[in-house]
Amino acid sequence: MNKTDDISLKNRIKQKASELGFDLVGICRPDYSPEDHDRLQRWLDKNYHAKMDYMGRTPRQRSDPGLFFENARSVISVGINYYNEPAYLPDRPYISLYARGRPYQDVVKGKLKTLLEFIRNIRPETRGKIAVDTSPTFDKLWAEKAGLGWRGKNTLLINRKIGSFVFLGELFLNLDLEPDPPETDHCADCRKCLDACPTGALVEPRVLDANLCISYLTIEAEGPLENPALIGNNLFGCDICQLACPYNKGALPARAPEFSPEPAIPENDTNFVGMAEADFKNRYSGTILGKSGFNRYKNKAKAVDINIKKLGEPLDFESS
């Protein structure tokens, strides 16, 4: 394939990705990143992964695409905005924006599968492998290399136009495609996300201690909470470091209908702690929260109810 054909295919891929609902798309080379491998190993050595043992099973594979997909020649990185007005109030139970819509892994994988089929119709010899979140590879590394954004001090990918409320995915291909220029860091000396984190989970820029992270404690951690006060008013997940980020001020709402917050979230329910299982399933069926299960919800709801009753001053995301 000559350079003109390469550019034409790249443009067609990007156009198709946009038609499928992706807000961001870029391409990079699948080069091994020893820096990211070493960074992960240091993180694991400090036990910042808490009980997420799966993070340590294939550390080299996460930063070396050749071990994830043997014939990788290019990585198509995609992002889809899931932002909707969070209506965050510290005296009301809160559910992270990411958990209010359909399971994003299914949505992103489905769209990437369609994109792969589209490419195969043009180039039948194409082989590819899809990765979304749970796959042992670094989503944010490839997104940064492909120009979608940069890894912010809160460890999340930030895009200058749409902020950090973005679901990521990758399509590893055996095709050579012209890479896009990587994005550079635009956090400068800002540290609003670090200062806003109520538990100190952001121990330094771009380093997260999951043992203290509200998202980990309310989503990943199993069983009763050792310190229920840590989760504050957060029933499932946490958006505090994102709400503090200047790049999320005035963020545009998601255009993907899969991530519209339906049905109503518990902020509108004064009896959230006493919700029956049938009501929970009826209200949250089809959402990430619903998929997580009623027992997990009840466990966190009791803690949140106690924390709200003990609440002091509201969090101020605009200060500092």
Alpha-carbon distances, residue 320 vs 55, 95, 174, 195, 244 (angstroms): 34, 25, 47, 7, 10
What is the distance between the terminal CA atoms of the chain, rounded to a whole angstrom? 54
**Tokens standing for residue 51:** 């009980």
List the one residue out of 89, 111, 76 whose CA is nearest residue 257.
111
CB 168 within 8 A of CB 157: yes
Catalytic annotation, pick one of 5, 91, 106, 133: 133
CB 230 within 8 A of CB 200: no
What is the per-residue burial (b if ≥16 Cβ within 10 Å, else e) of 104-131? bbebbbebbeebbebbeeeeeebbbbbb
Cα(235)–Cα(218) distance, integer angstroms: 7
Cα(184)–Cα(65) distance, integer angstroms: 22
Cα(38)–Cα(136) distance, integer angstroms: 16
Look up 195 and say whether it is catalytic: no
Q: Is 175 helix (H, G, I), strand (E, B) or coil?
A: coil
**Tokens standing for residue 115:** 């994109």
Cα(228)–Cα(258) distance, integer angstroms: 32
CB 230 within 8 A of CB 307: no
**Residue 153 CB burial class (10 angstroms; 0-12, 13-18, ≥19):** buried
- Enzyme catalytic residues: 133
